[in-house]
Copies of this chain bind each other. A is one copy, B any other.
Amino acid sequence: MGTTQLESVPEPKYWHLRTVLSEALDSEFSVGEILPNERDLAARFGVARATLRQALEQLELEGRLQRRRGVGTTVAPPRVGVAVGSRRHTWPGSAEDAWQPVDCERAAPPAAVAAALETGPGEAVHVVRRSRMSNGQRVATELLHIPDAAVPDLTAIDAPSGAARARAVLRELQRLELEGQDRAVELGSARADDAKDLDRLPGAPVLVVTTRFFAGGRTAALSVATYRADTCRLTFGDSPDVEIHHDPEQRAS
């Protein structure tokens, strides 16, 4: 006997730091407050800056912190509840859709999308770009892929491009009877252009929501929506913005 085992399970420094900082955020800081800069914090805790940054990255991933180059690190507000998919199946663009059309172009989708749409490889489809705001901040961008076969009357549309054409395409889509839809959520990292839209750096964690819309016995549209993972909590079902919790660590007991 003798040595009362301290540190019998030595957790990594950055993980311990994360916990300490997390508790400090709960008790000593309020939303929007600016933290000391990384060099000061690292010195204060007696660790290298890289180690401190590992802890900050964790907290940012959990939506507790927000970091902006040239500005500083601030305490993030609780995640926004963003309603994804009502029970009722509706086409994009109908009723009070939270999305705003940005533009529309024709392009050949990547192989994976083409497969879901059952179009030939390299076959161009309509690609409607939309964005979604919440609390004055852009929280998601979407690419909506629609094969020609799904919207046959599109030749009559005059708007060559832009938001006007996007709206026209969506209008045509709504003439079809929606037979069902399908949804999947996974973790991804923001590509350069999505990152720019979302005011994040490339590689930022995002929640990718893929929705298939069925009509006429085929996939008539496929939506790939990219949500900021740091600021969004995706809600499904009846209540659009329920304040359940803001604790990615689930339980502390």
User: Which residues of A pack against B, CB within 8 Å?
Assistant: 11-12, 15, 18, 58, 61-63, 79, 81, 85, 107-110, 112-113, 115-116, 143, 180-189, 191-192, 194, 202-203, 205, 207-208, 210, 212, 222, 224, 226, 229-230, 232-239, 242, 244-253
Q: Which of B180, B189, B251 contacts A113 (CB 8 A)?
A: B251
Closest-by-CB residue of B relative to A59 is B189
Q: Which of A12, A63, A248 has the most chain B CB within a 10 Å cutoff?
A: A248
Contact B63 A187 (CB under 8 A): yes
Contact A191 B239 (CB under 8 A): no
Docked CA distance A115–B242 (Å): 12
Contact A185 B207 (CB under 8 A): yes
Q: A244-B212, A250-B226 are in contact. Are A237 and B183 (CB under 8 A)?
A: yes
Show 20 residue pairs from A and B whose CB-CB distance is below 8 angstroms, ordered by the A residue.
A11-B202, A15-B202, A58-B189, A110-B251, A112-B247, A115-B245, A116-B244, A182-B238, A182-B239, A182-B244, A184-B235, A184-B242, A185-B207, A186-B232, A187-B207, A187-B230, A188-B248, A189-B248, A191-B249, A208-B250
Closest-by-CB residue of B relative to A108 is B253
Docked CA distance A85–B180 (Å): 16
Contact B189 A62 (CB under 8 A): yes
- What 5 A-B pairs have minimum CB-CB distances, sorted nearest first? A112-B245, A188-B248, A187-B229, A186-B233, A183-B236
Contact A185 B242 (CB under 8 A): no
Nearest Cβ on chain B to A162's Cβ, whole angstroms: 20
Instruction: Give chain B residues whose Cβ lies under 8 Å from the Cβ of A61.
Output: 187, 189, 205
Instruction: Give chain B residues whose Cβ lies under 8 Å from the Cβ of A212.
Output: 242, 244
Contact B236 A184 (CB under 8 A): yes
Contact B186 A252 (CB under 8 A): no
Q: Which of B189, B192, B222, B246 contacts A112 (CB 8 A)?
A: B246
Closest-by-CB residue of B relative to A85 is B236
Instruction: Give chain B residues whose Cβ lies under 8 Å from the Cβ of A110.
Output: 245, 247, 250-253
